[in-house]
A = this chain, B = another copy of it.
Amino acid sequence: MSRRSGILEFAVLGLLRESPMHGYELRKRLNTSLGVFRAFSYGSLYPCLKTLVAGGYLIEEPGSAPEDARAASLAGRRAKIVYRLTADGKEHFEELLAHTGPDAWEDEHFAARFAFFGQTSRDVRMRVLEGRRSRLEERLEKMRASLARTRERLDDYTLELQRHGMESVEREVRWLNELIESERTGRDMRKAAAPQDTSGETGGTPRNRGGSRTDPSGDTAN
């Protein structure tokens, strides 16, 4: 009953720590704001919110009250519910942030942790980054070994898949190296703003295409 999922719970607490929200908006933030974060559905979000409330980590507050006074008096009225972190919730999240276990380097966990690095102390950040890196290096070792063992028996496509997979992992390791270096030499985080990229381009940063041609419906359907 109590041991609700690590990652969803963690992300919810983290987002609500920044500011109170209602479920619907929470889900949007979960799915867009946070990196390549997996898309959670209401079917998992609302139950999660409930157990967090039950655990005393959140409180429900009436959202923007029904402007319509007459409607408010009707029975069964459902209003927006804004969730706010309690003191306990804050403390709990703090603990989760500080906790570095081998879970923290796994793919999804790591992404979630990274997304809240802004709230994380530097030494914990370092541990997480380094943990992640060595996790990936282990993985690389295995892939190399496996590749060496089986190279001949594999067709071109399987080989290519494997090669591409390894390259991706190597790429992430390099990324981590940069991040760790940044952490060591104080603030910086990449060549930062980079208004005009005069050079031929290193990392490929997004490229500032036109104005915010927003497409208001840039949302993920349920």
Instruction: Determine, out of A55-63, A83-91, A93-101, A198-206, the stretch whose residues face the partner at the interface.
Output: A198-206
Cβ B166 vs Cβ A118 within 8 A: no
> Total interface residues on A, using CB and 8 Å?
54
Cβ A150 vs Cβ B33 within 8 A: yes
- Copies of this chain present in the complex amount to 2
Neighbouring B residues of A48 by C-beta, 8 Å: none
Scan residues 166-190 of chain A and give those whose CB is less than 8 A from a CB of chain B: 166-171, 175, 179, 189-190
| A70, CB-defined interface residue at 8 Å | no
Known contacts A150-B32, A155-B118, A206-B144, A189 near B212 by CB under 8 Å:
no
Scan residues 108-126 of chain A and give those whose CB is less than 8 A from a CB of chain B: 111, 114-118
Minimum CB–CB distance for A129 against chain B, Å: 11
Cβ A207 vs Cβ B157 within 8 A: no
Cβ A157 vs Cβ B114 within 8 A: yes
- 7 pairs of residues in contact across A and B, judged by CB atoms under 8 Å: A35-B162, A35-B165, A36-B161, A118-B158, A145-B214, A167-B205, A170-B206
- Which chain A residues have a beta carbon within 8 Å of chain B's beta carbons? 32-36, 111, 114-118, 141-150, 154-158, 160-171, 175, 179, 189-190, 203-207, 209, 212-215, 218, 220
